[in-house]
Structure 1
Amino acid sequence: MEPKIRILYIDDEANNLLAFQASFRRLYEIYTAETVADGLNILNDKDIQVIIADQRMPKTTGVEFFNIVRKAHPNPVRILLTGYTDLDALIDAINKGEIFRYIKKPWDEMELKTAIQNAFELYQTRKQLRAKVDELQKANDELNRFVYSTSHDLRSPLANILGILNLAKLQQPGKEKDVNEYFAMIESCVNKMDVFIHKTIEYYKGIRLDDVNEDVDFKKMFTDSIELCNMQNPQIVFDVHVDQPVAFRCDGFRLSLILNNLISNAVKYQRVDEANPRVKLSAVVSERQAVIHIEDNGVGIIEEHLNKIFQIFFRSTDFKNGLGIGLYIVKEALTRIGGEISVKSEFGKGTSFALTVPNQAKEPEK
């Protein structure tokens, strides 16, 4: 059952308030007030969607009240009830955006009901529009940051390569050992550029490609991710546990993107002095969802950084020159498939991520 439209009706005549409640109490969630002060108190306390006010009140008119209200509470849609024709005032109020429409008193119940429904639809449309504007603003801000950071991070290794090449040109003949060191430095810079370009492609695919649900085998998906990431540190021991008694369907590309980034981080951010580096992977699958845990005994994350790690280009640590985009890709892809993620970490001891991903498998036919 959908929630009722929340209406505030302001009128200095108690009989009108009672008549309105008697006519519409079953259809709407109604709040009434006899004074402007009482009306403002209700607006401050309740999430009102439609305001109805009488034009002729002792201390102020309905139009004057709306002019006050729309500055502090611009979202509710405003309807004016008037028992007399003050055409100039009505036109002025409509032109200034103070009222959505006006209804003559005594009102026609069907006309007022239609006006309320139209006002509510306008309220919903404006709300959706504001959400879209906020979403576009966020996307625009992130795009600006992405372009700036990408330009900076790609230019940095290029500048290093040019500097190394200039040093190599100045190198005296017969210093092959030093030249080989220069080549190693160039290789490191190129590898860094390659990783960043790869992450940029992942980011693009994650936000652009259509959702495609497919059967997911978590054992195979874990194995593929381990093979992809293990070359970073062959010493790491992987402890894998999968409990998948039922079929699981999901966007396989995005789920793979999520696991690859999280497992890659678990491998990359290991402590150099850790004698037994390990990564624990588990997935417990039900008809409703999959619960996934990825835990490592690596460098960990500082507590005050935990609420920032999913922001684009936020680097929790300078360890191994992280790019600050992997966890952002994880969060965006997980949101796209309707999942959630939480993190626990202790600096110097390790990090644990917990994910829930809804199962999109169809119910079997009865």
Structure 2
Amino acid sequence: MENEGMFRELIENSDDIIIVTDKEFRIRYISSSVHKVFDVEPVSMLRRNIFDFVAREKQESWKHCLDETPHSVVDEVEFKVQHGEKRYFDVHVSNLLDHYKVQGLVLKLHDITQTKQKQEELLRSNQQLDQVIYKTTHDLKAPLMSALGLVKIAETAPIEEKDRYISMIKKSLLKLDSYIEEMNNFFRNDKLALQREKINLNELLASELENLKNLHHGDRVKVSLQGNSDIAWYSDLIRVKTVVANIFSNAIKYQDLQKQNPFIKIVANVTEEFCDICIEDNGIGIDPEYKEKIFDLFFRGTDQSQGTGLGLFIVKDTIERLKGTIEVRSEKGKGTAFRIRIPNQLHQSLEVE
């Protein structure tokens, strides 16, 4: 009896879920660890048929395997728990129907959710990397070949035309530089550990606007900036700059050239909990059918699109790494507003994943 009590205590304190059924496959014992995982009381599971929880496509194969030597099944299953969250388990089912004491099935469920998520993340990263490599080699080739072609023409052009060709070459090389910078941001965002630094929000916004003022008719866009700097804000400076620069760049590139008074309005507010930034423009806006796709990898929603299509993908990915959120409101022909909320790490160290 002492050994039996010790064995039961070990099971009850294990993270694995142990289930024992009767001959009709009804649950007659389930370890208390089920409460931690599924937030249900073990007693509420008693008398339930175990196959009620097994996917229909697996039921027959399980039963078939249990009829054969060695009378066991090893499988991987997926369950939805609280708030629709998915959890994954390795399940080992032993057929002890002929055992004089058990006379049923014994199941052990081992939680492999973290391992599964890491596998899926690795697969997703590899797929993204394949796309990036293919897209990069394709998109970098165009401005490079353009520049080389212009160099060849310029070599034999009359003196009075050389300046024009030099200007065209410069434009191609700047485009090439823009592609390389977006690639750099993409890989840097994925590889660098998160940092915790004090950020002067007004200085950051003003600096990024200054860097972009000569971009794509940026000098004709009126910019207004409102913000408070009374409370210190701590976050990852490089990543915040990446977010802000990409959204500012989009606001300038996709301004409506038909409008007389293009503008970008920036309202920023820092509290002890969050930094909220709203960036609004009166540019060409986003077609409703594309609104849900703008953060997808390599998505371009307009013929006016320039660059690799990585910008807003990087923005969303970066904000998620900072545990923040981003919302977009847009109307085609009227403009777009991005609302960003990033936690203030004023009182704690930044969590590094």
How many residues align? The count is: 311
Q: Which moved more, 1:193-202 or 1:318-327?
A: 318-327
Number of the residue aligned with 1:12 = 23
Cα separation, 1, equivalents of 2:34 and 2:303? 62
Cα separation, 2, equivalents of 1:142 and 1:24? 37
Q: Which has the higher helix share?
A: 1
- Relative to structure 1, the CA distance from residue 62 to residue 150 in structure 2 (aligned partners, 3 Å threshold; closer, same or farther) is closer
The one-letter code of the counterpart of 1:283 is: A
Is 1:196–2:179 an aligned residue pair?
Answer: yes
Is 1:31–2:27 an aligned residue pair?
Answer: no
Is 1:321–2:314 an aligned residue pair?
Answer: no
TM-score, normalized by length of structure 1? 0.73
How far does the alpha carbon of each residue in 1:294-325 deviate from its partner, in whole angstroms, 9 at most, with x for none?
11111111222222222222222231623211
**Among residues 57, 74, 77, which one is paired with 2:91 in the alignment?**
77
How far does the alpha carbon of each residue in 1:127-169 deviate from its partner, in whole angstroms, 9 at most, with x for none?
2111111101111111111111111111111211232234345
Number of the residue aligned with 1:128 = 114
* Secondary structure of the structure 2 residue equivalent to 1:319: coil
User: Structure 1 regions of 5+ residues with no counterpart?
Assistant: 46-59, 86-103, 108-114
Cα separation, 2, equivalents of 1:127 and 1:351? 39
RMSD: 3.6
- Asked which structure has the greater CA Rg, the reply is 1
- Relative to structure 1, the CA distance from residue 134 to residue 183 in structure 2 (aligned partners, 3 Å threshold; closer, same or farther) is same
Number of the residue aligned with 1:221 = 204
- Relative to structure 1, the CA distance from residue 208 to residue 17 in structure 2 (aligned partners, 3 Å threshold; closer, same or farther) is closer
Number of the residue aligned with 2:284 = 299
Matches within 5 A, 1:133-212: 133-169=119-155, 171=157, 175-212=158-195
* Identical columns (%): 28
Number of the residue aligned with 2:263 = 278
* Secondary structure of the structure 1 residue equivalent to 2:235: strand
Cα separation, 1, equivalents of 2:219 and 2:138? 32
Q: Per-residue deviation at 1:41? A: 2.8
Cα separation, 2, equivalents of 1:323 and 1:237? 26
- Relative to structure 1, the CA distance from residue 224 to residue 44 in structure 2 (aligned partners, 3 Å threshold; closer, same or farther) is same
- Relative to structure 1, the CA distance from residue 161 to residue 25 in structure 2 (aligned partners, 3 Å threshold; closer, same or farther) is closer
Q: Is the 8 A contact 2:19 2:30 kept in 1?
A: no
Number of the residue aligned with 2:66 = 63
* Secondary structure of the structure 2 residue equivalent to 1:246: coil
How far does the alpha carbon of each residue in 1:159-211 deviate from its partner, in whole angstroms, 9 at most, with x for none?
1123223434564xxx4444333222211111111111122222222222221
- Relative to structure 1, the CA distance from residue 167 to residue 248 in structure 2 (aligned partners, 3 Å threshold; closer, same or farther) is closer
Q: Per-residue deviation at 1:243? A: 3.2
Cα separation, 2, equivalents of 1:303 and 1:205? 31
Cα separation, 2, equivalents of 1:24 and 1:218? 47
Cα separation, 2, equivalents of 1:307 and 1:349? 18
- Relative to structure 1, the CA distance from residue 78 to residue 315 in structure 2 (aligned partners, 3 Å threshold; closer, same or farther) is same
Q: Per-residue deviation at 1:238? A: 1.3
Is 1:253–2:249 an aligned residue pair?
Answer: no
Q: Is the 8 A contact 2:77 2:90 kept in 1?
A: no
TM-score, normalized by length of structure 2? 0.75
User: Structure 2 regions of 5+ residues with no counterpart?
Assistant: 1-14, 57-62, 79-87, 349-353
Q: Is the 8 A contact 1:236 1:277 kept in 2?
A: yes
Cα separation, 2, equivalents of 1:349 and 1:315? 19
Number of the residue aligned with 2:248 = 263
